[in-house]
Structure 1
Amino acid sequence: MTFVIAFAVFTEQFVYAAIVPVVPFTLKERGHIDEDETQKWTTILLAVSGAGCFVSSPLWAWYTDRTQNRRIPFLFGMSVMLGATVLLWLAPNMAAQICGRVFQGMSSTVVWTTGLALLAESIAPEHIGEAAGYLGISLNAGSVAAPSLGGTVFKHRGYNAVFAVILAVIALSMMFLLIMKERDPTLHLVRVSSQQTAENALLEVERKAYPHLPEPQPDETSSAEVPSTMYSLPVNPNKPAMLRILFSGRFLVALWGVFTLAAVFAGFETVLPITVSELFGWDAEGSGAVFLPLSLPAIAGPLVGKLTDKYGGRWFIAAAYLALCPALILLRVVEHDTKSQKTILIVLLLIIGCCLAVILEPLFGEIAHRSRELSQQDRDAGIESRTGYYGQAYGFFNMAWALGDTLGPILCGFVVEAQGWAMGTLALGVLCGVTAVPVVMFCDGWLLKKRK
């Protein structure tokens, strides 16, 4: 199950990023775009993909929590991805290119919303970070493999061969989905409900047998996961879940963290290939290979997930965002074609990659926590929910990621075009530094509440 979902995430990222190093070299020939407008149109193509994902997320999230079959929506999303890829391949003009990217973004909604919901409801809460680590590996593997492979294939085999590879990866992912054994989505609810029923029955027996014993008090010093109900506003369980789910400071901060992470990812995918091409004269192959130090640290994702499952994610995420701030800003020193400057670039990209590898796992767990919190509110109110709220929780995750995918290229791409590489990396660095503050205060629950 985890492998199939992880490979679907890899496929989505691979399809998105495989033509990143190819686009600047093909816009002039197929899109009839002047060379001085290459950065602008590269930014637009990446941004509209995120916009398509953002717009389609709410409806698909609502549908995900109301369907018992995950395989059919998954296959539908992959079919849309296949069609979008063919459209991008054969697009005769920029209008068709934009339409292809929009449909590509809509297909990614299915992978992230349905896939993450399926994974979250199939994994015990104490292992959610570790499972997210494997998704991080897939995400980064797609990020590094796609530009590198796309650039190499384009250089040696040409434009058509790049899309042949992309279509083969999509077909393989669809095959895995067809043979996937889907679990009953109600099992996680039954397990939690049964455990609570057994605990309540045991407490009732103890009270009858030993009436002189005092009532048990809740443990206020436990766990790495501190309840967020202090800063989750009480909401009528009969109101739409898409509204109820937002009444939590902890959840909103997690979404902000997801947005920042996606903005940094997408910003780099937009400007890095063109920047190294202009500074160092690297071709499509070299522009793709520069993503390698940025993505290799994701291999440690499952280990990071285990640690955050055990100790909580607050300080992991905060430290990562704080370290990202100077690392991103220091990229401004890379402005000449020298060996030392190339070394500095690789070292800084490796540091940035290590920080990015730490962030995804605890944020994934924060989103899942909110879904479980809503399910608990329903049980307290005597309302039965067959599938829970993972689809809608990860629908917001997807919207935050899509918004980062949309605004990241705009923030970074247009700033770089107008003010240069140094100003673009400064903007991303400041964004990460600012994000560290609410993360410290809210992740794993309100910080001051934890110290009491």
Structure 2
Amino acid sequence: MTFNTDTSKPLGYRWRSSKTFIVGSVTVALFTESLLFGFIVPILSYMLEQRLHIDPSHTQNETTKLLAIYGFVSVVFATATAHVADKMPDRRTPLLYALAGCLVGTALVASTLSIWTVYLGRVLQSIASSGAWIVGFATVADAVGDEHFGKVLGVVLSFVTAGTISGPTVSGVLLKLVGYWPTWLVPMAVLVLDMLARMLMIEASKPTPSDEERTGLLPASRPASSDQEGSTAPSTSNFYRIMLLDSRVLTGLAGCLLYSSLMANFDTTIPLHVRETFHWDSLPTGLMFLCLQIPNVIFNPVSGWVRDKIGVRYPMTVGWALMAPLLFLLGMPGDERFAWVNGGHHGVVITVTCLLGIGALGSLLHGAGPMELTAVVREQEAQDPLIFGENGAGSRAFALAEMAFTLGIMLGPLLSGPLVELVGYFYMNVVFGILCLMLAVSSFNFLRRKQPAIVE
């Protein structure tokens, strides 16, 4: 259906098609997805032992597998999900399917009919969540354009981080206060509201390149009759060949992978380190993670505005360069070779300060990779609007970033855990610090200085 006249426009067209409503509804959807990611953690042992009657000695093993399968499935299905999404003429439909799939998966997990039902629910949650992330960010990029993408993405990521923080807290408190099923009804009700908002959303139709535009943009040697044939092949396998041979894309993906590896590394190593060094229990340990997350929530919009103004080159270079000395310092408390750190409360002060600094620097890094990938796709499509197919490759660009980020979450613990065992906590941080310095050099050498304007 097309809306060429005022009489043909549906009720509420102005606000339903506004950028504010589109971005707001997608933000709420991504907040819900991030909330669901950690929602299960505090109540999983109750589900396994009290509802599924699994022996407590097997709880840790089942917990590990249920959490790990989420990331593994997301990596496996990301490219297929993005390919299907880019084949669809709009973003609303795949996003609606993703939210519906997440609702079904959540219901299966909550039902706890059997352990295999829970596994099936986690698989569905992972596939649907991956689709929601990929299509959601692509929808935001399409809605706001290049000029304001950085700051809008920063605001969206602030809500995503808030969802990550609040998920475990909300589920743990609700289970204690209102019981099992009312706890699960909260995220399911939010998902239903998300789906209703998606049904109301009206996207602006993408302009289709005219014959004159195609003729002027395509190489003169390409026959006009091959336009349609050429538009399908590059949109599949050639997309990944073009993108993965671009140094800017590889640097952006490396940034996604290293950032998520660092965050997963902290989840793995900080609780044990502060327990052994400062003899802390769960409460102060949990507050340490707020030191990482709160600065990220606060500074994400500011960092996005900076990236809009000067591009991602300098923010990523500065962020990774300053991350290294903070990691070196973070590893010193508790190490006998640094006696000056371990007297009095010096170690606690250094640890808290370093985590706050790392959280603030994370706002410069989180989201920079997807921005760079989106810019590369836009530049390629500006030269040839059909290079990635009629509907573009926005979802596939975000799928690459999503895969790198998820892979980092999986690799972080696999790298940091053995390193702590082999060389100790300090040298583990040194290894990650060196990787940060290497990426700072790559960012300065390969990333663009300022986001170019794309004329459509």
TM-score band w.r.t. shorter chain: 0.7 to 0.9
CA distance in 2, matches of 1:350, 1:430: 20
Name the structure 2 match of 1:364. 370
CA distance in 1, matches of 2:268, 2:206: 38
Give unmatched runs, 5+ long, in structure 2. Answer: 1-21, 218-232, 335-341, 451-456
Assess, with a 3 A threshold, how the Cα gap between structure 1 residues 55 and 412 changes in structure 2: closer, same or farther: same
What is the CA distance between 1:137 and its match in structure 2?
0.8
Name the structure 2 match of 1:32. 55
Name the structure 2 match of 1:148. 169
Assess, with a 3 A threshold, how the Cα gap between structure 1 residues 72 and 277 changes in structure 2: closer, same or farther: farther
2:394 to 390, 396, 402: 390
Name the structure 2 match of 1:201. none
Assess, with a 3 A threshold, how the Cα gap between structure 1 residues 383 and 241 changes in structure 2: closer, same or farther: closer
2:436 to 428, 432, 445: 432
Name the structure 1 match of 2:10. none
Assess, with a 3 A threshold, how the Cα gap between structure 1 residues 41 and 294 changes in structure 2: closer, same or farther: farther
Amino acid aligned to 1:34: S
Alpha carbons 2:252, 2:368 under 8 Å: kept: no
Name the structure 1 match of 2:329. 330
Alpha carbons 1:144, 1:288 under 8 Å: kept: no
Name the structure 2 match of 1:126. 147
What is the CA distance between 1:355 and its match in structure 2?
1.2
Q: How does 1:85-234 map to 2 (within 5 A)?
A: 85-91=106-112, 95-157=116-178, 160-186=181-207
CA distance in 2, matches of 1:182, 1:410: 42
Assess, with a 3 A threshold, how the Cα gap between structure 1 residues 244 and 417 changes in structure 2: closer, same or farther: same
1:353 to 349, 359, 370: 359
Assess, with a 3 A threshold, how the Cα gap between structure 1 residues 93 and 418 changes in structure 2: closer, same or farther: farther
2:408 to 380, 390, 404: 404
Name the structure 1 match of 2:281. 281
Residues 1:253 and 2:232 are matched in the alignment: no
Assess, with a 3 A threshold, how the Cα gap between structure 1 residues 267 and 45 changes in structure 2: closer, same or farther: farther
Assess, with a 3 A threshold, how the Cα gap between structure 1 residues 75 and 56 changes in structure 2: closer, same or farther: same
1:9 to 6, 26, 30: 30
2:95 to 54, 66, 74: 74
Name the structure 2 match of 1:303. 302
What is the CA distance between 1:267 and its match in structure 2?
3.5
Assess, with a 3 A threshold, how the Cα gap between structure 1 residues 90 and 180 changes in structure 2: closer, same or farther: same
Q: Secondary structure at the match of 1:34?
A: helix
Alpha carbons 2:312, 2:449 under 8 Å: kept: no
Residue deviations 1:277-322, cap 9 Å, x none?
7842226xx6655432222222222221121111122121122122
What is the CA distance between 1:353 and its match in structure 2?
1.0
What is the CA distance between 1:270 and its match in structure 2?
4.9
What is the CA distance between 1:248 and its match in structure 2?
0.8
Higher relative contact order (CA closer than 8 Å, sequence separation 6+): 1
What is the CA distance between 1:275 and its match in structure 2?
6.4
Name the structure 2 match of 1:240. 238
Alpha carbons 2:369, 2:401 under 8 Å: kept: no
Assess, with a 3 A threshold, how the Cα gap between structure 1 residues 4 and 91 changes in structure 2: closer, same or farther: same
Alpha carbons 1:84, 1:104 under 8 Å: kept: yes
Q: Secondary structure at the match of 1:245?
A: helix
**What is the aligned-residue identity percentage?**
28
CA RMSD of aligned residues (A): 3.6
Name the structure 1 match of 2:445. 441
Alpha carbons 1:129, 1:364 under 8 Å: kept: no
What is the CA distance between 1:88 and its match in structure 2?
2.8
What is the CA distance between 1:354 and its match in structure 2?
0.5
Alpha carbons 1:122, 1:185 under 8 Å: kept: no
Amino acid aligned to 1:280: W
TM-score (norm 2): 0.74
Give unmatched runs, 5+ long, in structure 1. Answer: 198-235, 447-452
Assess, with a 3 A threshold, how the Cα gap between structure 1 residues 409 and 3 changes in structure 2: closer, same or farther: farther
CA distance in 1, matches of 2:107, 2:153: 31
Assess, with a 3 A threshold, how the Cα gap between structure 1 residues 361 and 290 changes in structure 2: closer, same or farther: same
Assess, with a 3 A threshold, how the Cα gap between structure 1 residues 282 and 76 changes in structure 2: closer, same or farther: same
Residue deviations 1:165-216, cap 9 Å, x none?
33233233223222222221338x78xx69x99xxxxxxxxxxxxxxxxxxx
Alpha carbons 2:101, 2:128 under 8 Å: kept: yes
Assess, with a 3 A threshold, how the Cα gap between structure 1 residues 80 and 398 changes in structure 2: closer, same or farther: same
TM-score (norm 1): 0.75
CA distance in 2, matches of 1:272, 1:161: 33
CA distance in 1, matches of 2:398, 2:41: 26
CA distance in 1, matches of 2:95, 2:373: 21
Q: Secondary structure at the match of 1:280?
A: coil
What is the CA distance between 1:269 and its match in structure 2?
4.2
| Larger CA deviation: 291-300 vs 24-33 | 24-33
Alpha carbons 2:239, 2:388 under 8 Å: kept: no
Residue deviations 1:332-387, cap 9 Å, x none?
35569x976555443332111111111124323201111112213425xx869532
CA distance in 2, matches of 1:240, 1:139: 32
Number of residue equivalences: 397
